[in-house]
Amino acid sequence: MNPQSSRLLTWSLIVAIVVVLNLLFSQVVRVAFVTPEYNTFCPISTNTSPANEADCVRNGGQWNVTPDAPKTVGQANPGYCNTQYKCSAEYDVARKAFDKNAFLIRIALAALALVLAYTLKIANPVSLGLAWGGVVALIWSSASYWNELGDLVRLLMLLVLLGILIYFGVKKFGKSLQ
């Protein structure tokens, strides 16, 4: 096998490990936690929407006033009823809890992949695949939940992760630079 083919096979293995590792992380999250489905919280209804504010609120909806709509006799606030107001809010709470748990699981798995990549004595392409898989998982997890984290949590998370990366970088490569 010529060196160029060997390099191509090596990089193919690395990319495959990165992809499969992140698919595995996603599947772990799906197995560990039930993904909230909007239709479970807000089933599709064939009922007509309440025509007035009192009925709307009584049925768990939210009345949305339409300021420019013409008023009809006996109607104080012309508008429409968002019949999914309450169930949508419940779905949002469940979705945020799921996203938080998914974030924590993926971050932990990414850190584990990075630790394994730098501590195990394994073939270089496998080690690189684990390391890059961990990096991709860190990016993916952080990007998907970053806005939900508070500033202090983001700062602490970045400090801890940077500390771990520097520690393993110095441990693995520090001696070779001297």
Please state the rounded mean pLDDT for residues 161-178: 74
Question: Looking at residue 70, what is its pLDDT?
Answer: 63
d(CA 138, CA 110): 6
Each residue's pLDDT tens digit, 103-127: 999 999 998 998 899 888 888 899 9
d(CA 162, CA 94): 31
**Count of other CB atoms within 10 angstroms of residue 15:** 15
Q: Which residues contact 105 (CB under 8 A, 6 or more apart)?
A: 25, 28, 29, 32, 33
d(CA 69, CA 63): 14
CA 164 to mean position of chain CA atoms: 22
Any idea where the domains of the chain sit in the sequence?
3-37+92-177, 43-83
